[in-house]
Amino acid sequence: MPLMPKPLIILTADKDALYGVRELVRRPDDLGIGSVEFDCYPHPRHDCGVFKEAHEFLRAFLKWDHAVVLFDREGCGQEDRTCEDLEDIVERRLAANGWDDRAKAVVLDPELECWIWDSSLQVNRVLGWTHTRDLDRWLCERGFPLGTDGKPQRPKEAFAAALRYQNRHPSSALFQDLGKAFRSSGCSERSFLRFRNALQRWFPPV
């Protein structure tokens, strides 16, 4: 564990999310925030571990100014609860363990890939598709219908299938590339806006 407190600590459910989110925060202008020093760690027990133990994991970071906790609703073991309920539970645990109102929980529904598909032009580029319509058509043909928001209803499975079709292997480095290419102006996903709004409130542009 690092010894020097920083303005922000981010806890993710795995290395894929860590690599993607880390690249996002390294581009403060796109998020509409000031430049911020931060640490980012994955939880060894993934989404379920973050939901149950974020307050314990982050106890060593109480001297950091703020904390963001990110995890997927799918896989956290509490899929029958709403995202809002899950976020409230985690934030109350954090507050009771010394974070007060300095921490924010963000639940991705159903998984991190919901952010990716909200920025489909970047998905096209990283996956090698020339046109968005070509990718949309391919998804529908392969049994991944698009919802009213224009995203596949099963984002993680759709992303994995698109990777296989393009002979790409899932990796944390791929999520790092997506984090670099992601444009927040094209993302209206509830969880992403919650994440960005918290950072904008804590670290406004100078």
C-alpha distances (whole Å) from 107 to each of 48, 110, 128, 145 are 12, 8, 29, 23
Strand partners, 103: 67
DSSP state of 73: S
What's residue 119's pLDDT? Answer: 57
* pLDDT band at 174; cut points 50, 70, 90: confident
What is the rounded CA–CA span in Å between residue 46 and residue 133?
A: 34
pLDDT tens-place string over residues 104-154: 999 998 778 788 776 555 667 777 776 666 788 888 899 988 887 778 878
Question: 138: which residues sit within 8 A by CB, 6+ positions away?
Answer: 129, 162, 165
pLDDT tens-place string over residues 37-46: 999 999 999 9
What is the rounded CA–CA span in Å between residue 111 and residue 47?
A: 10
State mean pLDDT over 18-32.
Answer: 94
Comma-separated ranges of CATH 3.40.1360 domains in the chain = 8-112+187-202
The CATH label, of 2.40.128, 3.40.1360, 3.30.70, 3.40.1350, for the domain at 8-112+187-202 is 3.40.1360
What is the rounded CA–CA span in Å between residue 146 and residue 77?
A: 26
